[in-house]
Structure 1
Amino acid sequence: MVEEPSAKRHHAETSDKRSNLVDINVPSEKHEYTRTLKGVELHGKEMLEIVCTSEPDKADEMMSRLRMKGGGLYPSFIGVDVEYTDEEKPPQMAAVLQLCVKELCLVYHIAAATKWPKRLKDFPREEKLYTFVGFSIGGDKRMLQESGLEINPNNFIDMQRK
């Protein structure tokens, strides 16, 4: 198995407004990869498909699939989690974003990517179609915002508070 690069800090920078992608600066850590894991067993009965990627085009494709998966539900519930860079080496930033709808999961390696996919950038801002659900998500929302991705606060449920 190929060893993936460590998560490094970065600062979001917006690219040309006409582009579908938004540049982020990841000093010497650009590493495009995609790994698809099918048939990942969950609790002995459910099977997941997990796509881990740092490629913006692949993430856009997965965002389309996540939208279709949740299409029959209104609003769709999307599981969300964020992993961070090393807190011992500030500034701490979002390194990995995980989104799941039913048995389909996207793991987007922010720290290894060079761009925010447009669909991923717009998706969390939807007002009525999606409800994002996570556990202890205050830090996750803050880290994503500092990394250039903002989730609509009205559509975010923190399971720790429920």
Structure 2
Amino acid sequence: MTFTDEYKGDNAVEAHGNTKLHVIHTNNKKQMAITLAQYERHLSLQRHKIIGIDLEYNNDPEATQKPALCQLSIGKSHPVLLFQMSDSERCTVFDNFLADPRYTFAGFSIDGDKTRLERVKLEVANFVDIQKEWRVPEATKPLYSLGDVSGVLIDDYYNNMKKKITDDEHQRWAILPLSRRHIEYAVKDAYAAMAPVADTCVYAEGLQLTNTEWRSMLGCLMIANRGFRAPLLHRLRTADLQESWKLPSTIKFHAPSSGKLTLETEHKNGYGDMEVDYHIDSEDCINITTGWKDFVSQNGFEAGEVAMVFFYKEEDSIKFKIFTI
């Protein structure tokens, strides 16, 4: 028997803060095709076609375990799709979507997912493991969990994500109907798998990054407890590398109207830091002045490089950490 349960409006799933997610839970091939067609229309307009994916398994022994539920997300502005694989007929549209090489599917610790998909003769064409590709540099743990990464880049809420459901509940993904707790957990897993890769990549208006620059930027973002969730991204111009650098007025930073700040960088010339002067002008723009030219020279910045800048306070000092990619 086919079904489609929809969670939206007042019944939407709260992810964190004010973020609410529209959810479609279905085993209906027609509904699956409609939703994936909406995904494809949106993704056709995107430079980086990223889909968050996660799987929950049935309660068979591990050696024969198969997927029970597949969760897909392309961001908070579109429905999260929960496809009940354990109670559905084979869906060619779904199979072809997973196998489409145009898309990047972002998962977390995906080796187990790959094995279980193989058991039902399914393969994800472009499956990327966030845990392996974008681990936190110099982390105290060799590999962070999805909750750890999402807690750093999205919201502290995700730090305890795995505690939101019990071990007994984890055994019941193939038993319908799924509880509201199951639905909420599955939705947040899919959204959290996608958001660190896509939602935190806030590009400056008009800035186009190459795939190499984009991947490098993601690595920089995985620095725990540093800066805003969305750093400034800016392609350096010749004028930016002169005596001073005027940052865009869109960058607001609570600080005295003038003073000193510490610039830090990690660049082709290695790590460097320097204390420089700044002032906030009549247009509310931050101007980095005395010391900026020396900083540029010391680190070998060149026009055309993309600068990614984190702003943060450390004790009584203001720091800008700059990466060029």
TM-score by length of 2: 0.37
Counterpart Cα distance in 2 of 1:158 and 1:90: 22
Indicate which of 97, 101, 107 corresponds to 1:134.
Answer: 107
Alignment partner for residue 65 of structure 1, among 38, 46, 61?
38
Cα drift, residue 137 of structure 1: 0.8
Larger Cα-atom Rg: 2
Q: May I ask how many residue pairs the two structures share in their alignment?
A: 128
Cα deviations by residue, 1:47-87 (Å, 9 ceiling, x for unpaired): 21110001111111111111123232123110000111114
The answer for unaligned runs of 5 or more in structure 1 is: 1-30
Could you report, residue by residue, the CA deviation over 1:84-104 in whole angstroms, capped at 9, with x for unpaired residues?
Answer: 111437621111111111122
Partner of 2:221: none
Match of 2:58 among 50, 60, 85: 85
Where 1:141 maps in the other structure, the secondary structure is helix
Out of 75, 81, 84, the position equivalent to 1:106 is 81
Q: 1:148 aligns to what?
A: 121
Q: Which has the larger displacement, 101-110 or 36-45? A: 36-45
CA RMSD of the aligned region, Å? 1.6
- 3-state SS of paired residue (1:95): strand
Identity across matched positions, percent:
28
Give me the whole-angstrom Cα distance separating, in 2, the residues matched to 1:48 and 1:61. 18
Amino acid at match of 1:123: F
The C-alpha deviation readout for 1:105-139, integer Å capped at 9, x for no partner, is 110001110222x2211112122x21000111111
2:7 to 37, 43, 55: 37
**The 10-residue stretch of structure 1 (130-139 or 69-78) with the greater mean CA deviation from structure 2:** 69-78
Of residues 104, 107, 130, the one that matches 1:159 is 130
SS of structure 2 residue aligned to 1:83: strand
Q: Distance in 1 between matches of 2:55 and 2:93?
A: 18
Larger fraction in helix? 2
TM-score by length of 1: 0.72
Structure 2 gap segments, 5+ residues each: 135-325
User: Matched residues in 1 for 2:121 and 2:4: separation?
Assistant: 22
